[in-house]
Amino acid sequence: MTPAEIHAHFQLQRQASREHVDVPLLVRRERLLRIQKMLDEHGPVLAAAVQADFGMRSPLLTEVADFFVLRSLLSHTLRHLGRWMKPKKVSTPLVLQPATAWIARQPLGVVGVISPWNYPVQLALAPAITALAAGNRVMLKPSELTPHTSAQLAALVAQFFSPDEFCVVQGDANLAALFASLPFDHLVFTGSTAVGRKVAQAAAQNLTPTTLELGGKSPCIIDGHCDMKDAALKIAHGKLLNAGQTCIAPDYVLLPRGREGEFAQAYAAAVARLFPTIEGNGDYASIITARHHARLRTMLQQAQTQGAEVQTIDPAAGKPVVHTTGTLGDGVSRQMLPTLVFGATSAMQLMQEEIFGPILPVVSYERLDDAITHINAGPRPLALYWFGQSEAVRDDVLQRTVSGGVTVNDTLMHIAHDHLPFGGVGDSGWGAYHGEQGFLQFCHQKSVLVQSRWSMGSLLYPPYGPRMERIMALIRRLL
């Protein structure tokens, strides 16, 4: 779209949202059912577009990582939407009785969504679903790094929705900057912390509230008393899903000193179990672009030059390569082998930036206090993972660290819980969505007080004097 077309679409949605402030439950449900129908009828086309963008990412991976999450969200939202929409009654303090009060949950108006490339269907439609459920209009700007998926989303949304309900804007980073500068009633951005800062600055010019889901270096703490094989398998799954291109992927492991060899062996066995082959295996996604792949390789080379021990894991080493899925473009050449890095230091790039790839640094610690100090010395992470058996130690870790969310004795799973809000804290973002929390994020909670004809409020009117002193003394005793 041209800038003029983008502004025209925004004005169309803004006008519609102002003319139809109240959006009935029936209309909201029907909009969500259209998205459900779109996924049911055109899921294979979208999955093929994702594979074309990545070069190597099987439709089943997209089914698990994108469509499953969206279907669960739709089911949960449709089931609870009627209750979420109801005004919330609140009690009235004694000094204001017999007035009555409630909180009305109204649509904000027009919600903008800037979505990333790593889960290009899920992270585009999930906030859109919740915003539509809250009665809003939605404008979506998907990533330019997944052009096939973005084009399919644009075509399908145009097929199932009128432009004043939901539309897709395609374009590059310059267009994204223009998009972020529109005076939305709320703006959702998912992506890097660096870009998130720019989005927040652009939105601030219009006093547009934002939800920023950013990422960061999410740690895994392995306690001295845990099943190493089980922990390694779950860490490998969380790290290597989508080849590590996941905002809440384990970014590094904090491991009791002396157990490095045990972990390395267990992790290699876990990789072999999950991915018997890497090259040509559609279950193991490609790195999205050659530029991203080069960045990861540079990280490894720098770490190795500075003294780190790099262990590359190739479960098919010495075996004939069997391609389990057809290839597209140079996807196979961008399938990066899982890699462990021991001896990483804070001076290395891979310990300063979110990795977003299948590289896993392992940092050894002497005492749990050292691990917690290491975490608290950096920006607050989007996720934290702890593996162990002691509830006391678990609770100690939870109380002494701050992160967007936590999964204990597993990775990633807290994001799949529809009743848990999902979001970051500090550098990993602000605001949260999912379930009712997301619904409320995209609502204006309007306070309403209905005064009674028997109101005693006039007792507080001037002129003030001895009478008011007696009234205030009585109120102080009642409070």
Let me know if 220 is a catalytic residue.
Answer: no
Q: Does 366 participate in catalysis according to the annotation?
A: no
| Nearest to 140, CA basis, from 114, 101, 160, 177 | 114
Task: Report the chain's C-alpha Rg in angstroms.
Answer: 26
CA dihedral 282, 65, 177, 379 (to 10 degrees): -110
Considering the candidates 167, 220, 226, 247, report the single residue annotated as catalytic.
Answer: 247
Of 165, 213, 260, 354, catalytic: 213
Contacts 24+ apart (CB under 8 A), 15-21: 15/164, 16/137, 16/164, 16/165, 17/107, 17/109, 17/110, 17/136, 17/137, 17/185, 18/109, 21/106, 21/107
Phi, psi of 169 (to 5 degrees): -110, 125
Strands 210-213 and 186-190, by their bridges, are parallel
- Residue type, position 383, single letter: A
- Rounded to whole angstroms, what are the CA distances from 131 to 166, 178, 346? 10, 21, 40
Tokens linked to 361: 């640094």
d(Cα 112, Cα 4) in Å, to the nearest integer? 17
16 DSSP β-pair partners:
none
Per the CB < 8 A criterion, the answer to whether 428 and 216 are in contact is: yes
Residues forming the active site: 213, 247
